[in-house]
């Protein structure tokens, strides 16, 4: 059987020769564009046909279909629900993440749940172990790294917020802090108010990337279980109010310093708790 022409081989495999037009680059130019785009120092032989570079045009698949708004909403809802389970400890470190059981629990089809789990894996909140997916918890060493990143990001966020946060927003946060009374506030509510302060400061920067990074770090902090660290209610609230005082005084340096001290003190409380220094 006679060998097939190279062009026919290329065409059947999904390669087509570039169409020549008065405005199109010639073969050498196309080769240069290809090499620059994909990082090749030499044009691969597989991308040549009779000495001319060829362009790969893969067939369209179902993955090319645009995702509908309803699908995006369902996936985001599944993501938020599963993330809350991880954040609150309902799905704890090492627990199996089952697509089927989560779909049943959430009353959703498996497709949005599968996509949500895939996103969580990409964010390192779940990990693969053989054929299973497990919740990827936060170890103490991980927490200290997270707090180190938070110290840098949130101090800068407080510095910026001191020039940007509005008076009504700072007053709203102050009111929530003052409404809390130790012994009458659940750990969940305490964390919610803490979230309002820290994420309110992050949002005031106007820097969406910084805001997302701070949120991610705070989720990992919550996964460790900071509510089990004793003796931080009154002290923590006083530190929060000191941060707000500096922001309302339009003092960026003081705001950054108060935030750094706040995170340093939280880290120190963890160490004291783990070493038994906080025990009577």
pLDDT digits (tens, 9 = 90+) for 90-148: 888 889 999 999 999 999 999 999 999 999 998 888 999 888 999 988 888 889 999 99
Residues 6+ apart with CB under 8 A from 85: 91
Q: How many CB atoms lie within 10 A of CB 42?
A: 7
Tokens of 210: 């910084």
229 neighbors 269 (Cβ within 8 angstroms)? yes
Rounded mean pLDDT, 218-222: 88
Does 259 score more than 80 pLDDT?
Answer: yes
pLDDT at res. 123: 85
> Where does the chain hold its CATH 1.20.120.530 domain(s)?
140-275
pLDDT at res. 169: 97
Does 153 score more than 90 pLDDT?
Answer: yes
The verdict on domain 67-135 having CATH code 3.20.20.80 is no
Question: With bands split at pLDDT 50, 70 and 90, how would you rate the model's confidence at 45?
Answer: very low
For 215, the 3-state DSSP assignment is: helix
237 neighbors 177 (Cβ within 8 angstroms)? yes
Rounded mean pLDDT, 155-174: 98
Question: Mind listing the pLDDT tens digit for each residue in 8-22?
Answer: 444 454 444 444 444
CATH label, 140-275, candidates 3.40.630.30, 1.20.200.10, 3.40.50.720, 1.20.120.530: 1.20.120.530
188-196 contacts, C-beta under 8 A, 24 or more apart? 188/88, 190/227, 190/233, 191/222, 191/226, 191/227, 194/236, 194/240
255 neighbors 162 (Cβ within 8 angstroms)? yes
Cβ neighbourhood burial of 110 (10 Å; 0-12, 13-18, 19+): middle
Report the distance separating Cα 243 and Cα 165, nearest Å: 12
Report the distance separating Cα 34 and Cα 194, nearest Å: 51
% of the chain with per-residue pLDDT over 70: 70
E-assigned strands of the chain? 15-16, 48-49, 52-53, 55-56, 126-129, 132-135
Tokens of 112: 């949005």
226 neighbors 199 (Cβ within 8 angstroms)? no
Question: With bands split at pLDDT 50, 70 and 90, how would you rate the model's confidence at 250?
Answer: very high
Q: What is the mean pLDDT of the chain?
A: 79
> Where does the chain hold its CATH 1.10.10.10 domain(s)?
67-135
Question: Mind listing the pLDDT tens digit for each residue in 50-69?
Answer: 444 444 343 343 444 455 66
């Amino acid at each position: 059987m006679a060998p097939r022409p190279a062009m026919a081989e290329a065409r059947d495999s999904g390669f087509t020769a570039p169409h020549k037009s008065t405005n199109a680059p010639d073969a050498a130019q196309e080769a240069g564009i290809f090499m620059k785009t994909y990082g090749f120092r030499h044009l691969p032989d597989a991308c040549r046909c009779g000495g001319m570079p060829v362009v790969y045009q893969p067939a369209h698949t179902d993955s090319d279909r645009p995702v509908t708004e309803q699908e995006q909403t369902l996936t985001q809802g599944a993501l938020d629900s599963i993330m809350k389970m991880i954040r609150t400890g309902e799905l704890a470190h090492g627990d199996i993440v089952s697509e089927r059981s989560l779909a049943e629990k959430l009353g959703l089809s498996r497709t949005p749940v599968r996509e949500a789990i895939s996103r969580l894996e990409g964010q390192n909140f779940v990990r693969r172990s053989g054929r299973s997916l497990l919740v990827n918890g936060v170890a103490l060493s991980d927490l200290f790294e997270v707090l180190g990143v938070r110290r840098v990001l949130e101090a800068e966020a407080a510095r910026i917020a001191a020039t940007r946060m509005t008076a009504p927003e700072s007053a709203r946060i102050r009111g929530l802090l003052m409404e809390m009374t130790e012994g009458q506030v659940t750990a969940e509510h305490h964390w919610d108010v803490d979230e309002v302060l820290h994420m309110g400061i992050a949002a005031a920067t106007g820097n969406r990337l910084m805001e997302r990074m701070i949120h991610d770090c705070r989720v990992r902090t919550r996964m460790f279980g900071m509510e089990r660290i004793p003796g931080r209610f009154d002290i923590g609230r006083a530190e929060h109010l000191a941060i707000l005082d500096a922001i309302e005084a339009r003092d960026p340096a003081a705001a950054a310093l108060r935030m750094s001290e706040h995170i340093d003190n939280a880290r120190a409380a963890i160490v004291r708790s783990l070493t038994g220094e906080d025990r009577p």
